[in-house]
Structure 1
Amino acid sequence: MKIKFGTSGWRDIIAENFTFENVKLVTQAIADYVNQKFAGQKKVIVGYDPRFLSEDFAKTSCCVLSANGIKSLYTKRDVPTPVVAYEIISKKLAGGINFTASHNPPEYNGLKFSPDWGGPALPETTQFIEKACEELMSNRERIKEMDYDEAKKKGLIEEIDPRQNFLKRIKQLVDIKSIKKAKLKVGVDLLYGTARGYLDELLKECGCKITVLHDWRDVLFGGHRPEPDEENLKGLIDVVKKKKLNLGLSCDGDADRFGIVDSDGTFITPNQVIALLLYHLAKSRNYRGGIAVRSVMTSHFVDSIAKGYDVEVKETPVGFKFIGGIMVENPDKFIIGGEESGGLTIRGHVPEKDGVLACMLIAEMVAQEKKPIRKILQELEKKFGKFITKRVNLSLTKENMEKFREKLKSTPPEEFAGLKVKKLITIDGFKFILEDGSWVGMRLSGTEPIVRLYIESDTVKKVSELKSAGEKFITS
């Protein structure tokens, strides 16, 4: 087998390829990277999500790091991904290893490495690790390991609880007083994940009356992937409507993604949330003339609002590491960065997705605006235009996938549903900007024969027509 890092680390099925032996191998490759890059004493935080065996995989990783002279800061319980990032930055660590498969199905686990700047490892870093893994495959005797208790006695493993440190930072970034004053009634679906004791605790401290769902560890996440999408949040939607709550908030398994429900039970899409929070930050913090960053398939609603506040928009390939990279390069100009899959961060925080922060900022916005999210959206649409988005996954055979890949490169479409292609963007997939401002995007999965089709326009009718045209081009 080959160890391959995707957009956010190495993920695989537990006990098939995600094994203790392969965890040792990948950790040794990371240890090689850290020892090559840093001199003197080196510290790495090792965290994990609530998946099956996560804490044991993490301990195994600590044993390999210890044998390589690297001190591990092992978290006493499962922690959100942004907590790992914040510890790296606040404690000036050499990096962080996080055992998480994020929103993937329960049978998966994953290993994610974040270097010293706190964001997900960039391609040049993961390529080094992948190459080192390949070499270790045929030379496994080079993998070092120390007994966990022995490493603890030698001071090479320290067990930590980073919770208070992180909660303190969130309280500095969010207007807690506004939320307290509003006395919001909030539904919270923790989806059995790492947001337990983080999101619910913050809302309690803000004086919110909360109704909490799924606030215990379940390695099977209730039998489905821990993704805070509309389908998985039906229980939260019902609670919000029945109890007449102001808001419903949720995070995924490792709390780097968010799910937002309005007071009438409407699911607010990540595209809408990013646009809403750009508006809210520009208005409440008086941010003007800065930078907003979005991934290539994220809504242009962001661009329209940005224009109204003299904010420059930068477009990146898919993967939060690219957004984080721009944030680190422009710390004083950066306002918000987000992607349509449900991740965002803001100025002054970590260059990593943070679902807990996103939820708290939405609570702040609702508290300050004193109105439901749909009312705020309606006002923004009147001012900045309507943006309706759609995403569809289309499965192809491997043979047809290759044929489609060639067709896209050799004869890309010149029009969709009678609208001419005005511009083609190819930084990640193919994004066709049409003459009326609508757009159609196509991305081919790197791991399975699936084409992701993205559509954005200003009417439901146009979105439907463009979807049909896109599907016809892909499947014909």
Structure 2
Amino acid sequence: MNRITFGTSGWRGILCEDFIFENVRVVTQAIADHLIASGESGKGLIVGCDSRFMGERFVRESAQVLAGAGIKVYLCNRDTPTPVISFEILRRKTAGAINFTASHNPPEYNGIKFSPAWGGPALPETTGDIERRANEMLGEFCYKERFLDNAKKDGLCEEIDCRPAYLDDLSTKIDFDAVASLGGVALNPLYGTARGYLDEPLMKRGMKFHQINAHRDPYFGGFAPEPAEKNIQDFISLVRKDPSIRLGLATDGDADRFGIIDEDGTYIEPNYIIALLLDYLVRVKKMTGGVARSVATSHLIDAVARHHGIQLYETPVGFKYIGELISQDKIIIGGEESAGLSIKGHVPEKDGILACFLVAEMVAREGKSVSQLLQELYAKVGCYLTRRDNIKLSPQLEAAYKGKVASVPAEIAGAKVKDVVTIDGVKLILEDGSWLLFRKSGTEPVVRLYGEASSDDRLNTVMSAGREFILGK
């Protein structure tokens, strides 16, 4: 059998290959054993899923294993956004949650994400223990199940509706009256769990909106359920063609990522949204604290932090590290270039629903488009342009990669290397303020190349130099 391996957001696999019922039972038992060993099992666990194939069946099997181990299960009554499950962990004070989701991965994937009692994604020491326990049990009949009807009779299973409490809480953090003044927005839950979460607050306030892809489709329309520009061309076309639409708001399959379309149909990179919201939260909403970004995320955030005199935290890739800072109340906002963010006083987990409505509030209260706000921000702190490419490696290049990045050049792209950051991958800070990050995939022969510069021409030069460094051309 393939080993169970937890990545940055849990264990993921391809349905009917390694993501099968038997492995789901084993991983669930490993989580149960971890909680029993830590003395947390008496608090119960939330179990939910996104809108993928077989989600409810996997939830049922997992719940029966937990009940068999004597752990109470709070069973979500429908596919549920990842940030909503995080909110419910904190609200109910459970030992955590098991969430069947593969987030933005293609439709053939599913996954198990374990979130502990603090509500954020499990840290490496936690997933490492669960991973070890699961792999020791592979191939063995290591669990017992209690049928859900019996578990309900015994008080070990309770069905819950997570939506009302989450939306009530969201209304304390978003100025929906301002959002309603926009007049017209477009919504795209991408066939995922944000159905009923993006639209209900607007319907409640009688706001006009257009919505597409708002039914459940495990194929996600034939695309990976990620609100990246290439995947939402139908949505971009809708916004571009309808002058009444002021803003387009999209989420991914489990609603922890966001996609923003400006009123003219321009896709706005997540990097820029995080920086704009930081400026807005400090300047308009008077929030205090620091800001966190992953090592792969734009230094435009650094520039905004300097402008407002607030502390910046740089983290490895993986929202769990940012989530820790949110749970410790150290930051106003934390985000990643992969379209995940959360804010002070909210869940320590990416929340695409929150992100969408924060942008809508910002645009409404400022009375300007996202592009106009970005140009104003550039005028205050300087221009920052970012890009990410994937470089596929031959077996020879993959074998040579580790040695290559271990001896970085003193100069690249016509500029001296000022600093080297190695908290996750190898990041070269150049003397002109541009930078490159080389980060090897843990699952495939691919190097993720990130770059940033102050102009398109300079960014092209930097990215070309990065490719040449890896490929040896």
SS of 1:113 mapped into structure 2: strand
Residue 382 of structure 2 aligns to which amino acid in structure 1? G
TM-score by length of 2: 0.98
Residue 305 of structure 2 aligns to which amino acid in structure 1? A
Residue 300 of structure 1 aligns to which amino acid in structure 2? H
> Is residue 457 of structure 2 the alignment partner of residue 457 of structure 1?
no
Select 1:358's aligned residue among 355, 368, 377: 355
Residue 333 of structure 2 aligns to which amino acid in structure 1? I
> Is residue 177 of structure 2 the alignment partner of residue 211 of structure 1?
no
> Is residue 48 of structure 2 the alignment partner of residue 47 of structure 1?
yes
Aligned to 2:155: 155
1:22-421 correspondence to structure 2 within 5 Å: 22-38=23-39, 41-137=42-138, 140-180=140-180, 182-244=181-243, 245-288=245-288, 290-329=289-328, 331=329, 333-409=330-406, 411-421=407-417
Separation (CA, whole Å) in 2 of partners of 1:287 and 1:439: 30
Unaligned runs of 5+ in 2: none
Select 2:443's aligned residue among 409, 430, 447: 447
Measure how far apart 1:310 and its partner are.
Answer: 1.4
Separation (CA, whole Å) in 2 of partners of 1:207 and 1:472: 55
Separation (CA, whole Å) in 1 of partners of 2:117 and 2:155: 21
Measure how far apart 1:299 and its partner are.
Answer: 0.2
> Is residue 471 of structure 2 the alignment partner of residue 470 of structure 1?
no
**Range with greater deviation from structure 2 (93-102 or 37-46):** 37-46
Separation (CA, whole Å) in 1 of partners of 2:292 and 2:41: 36
1:428-447 correspondence to structure 2 within 5 Å: 428-447=424-443
Separation (CA, whole Å) in 2 of partners of 1:398 and 1:43: 47
1:243-265 CA-to-partner distances (Å, cap 9, x unmatched) read: 11100000000000000000011
SS of 2:438 mapped into structure 1: strand
TM-score by length of 1: 0.97
Measure how far apart 1:39 and its partner are.
Answer: 5.3
- After superposition, the Cα gap between the structure-2 partners of 1:312 and 1:274, relative to the gap in structure 1 and judged at 3 Å, is same
Measure how far apart 1:141 and its partner are.
Answer: 2.5
SS of 1:393 mapped into structure 2: strand
CA contact (8 A) 1:74 1:159 kept: yes
Residue 313 of structure 1 aligns to which amino acid in structure 2? L
Separation (CA, whole Å) in 2 of partners of 1:387 and 1:77: 41
Unaligned runs of 5+ in 1: none
Question: Number of residue pairs matched?
Answer: 470
Separation (CA, whole Å) in 1 of partners of 2:231 and 2:205: 26
**Structure 1 vs Structure 2: percent identity of aligned residues?**
51
Residue 366 of structure 2 aligns to which amino acid in structure 1? E
* Runs of 4+ more than 4 Å apart: none
1:218-277 CA-to-partner distances (Å, cap 9, x unmatched) read: 111111100001111111111111111100000000000000000011100000010010
CA contact (8 A) 1:179 1:206 kept: no
- After superposition, the Cα gap between the structure-2 partners of 1:396 and 1:150, relative to the gap in structure 1 and judged at 3 Å, is same
Measure how far apart 1:40 and its partner are.
Answer: 7.0
CA contact (8 A) 1:183 1:207 kept: no
Measure how far apart 1:318 and its partner are.
Answer: 0.1
Measure how far apart 1:353 and its partner are.
Answer: 0.1
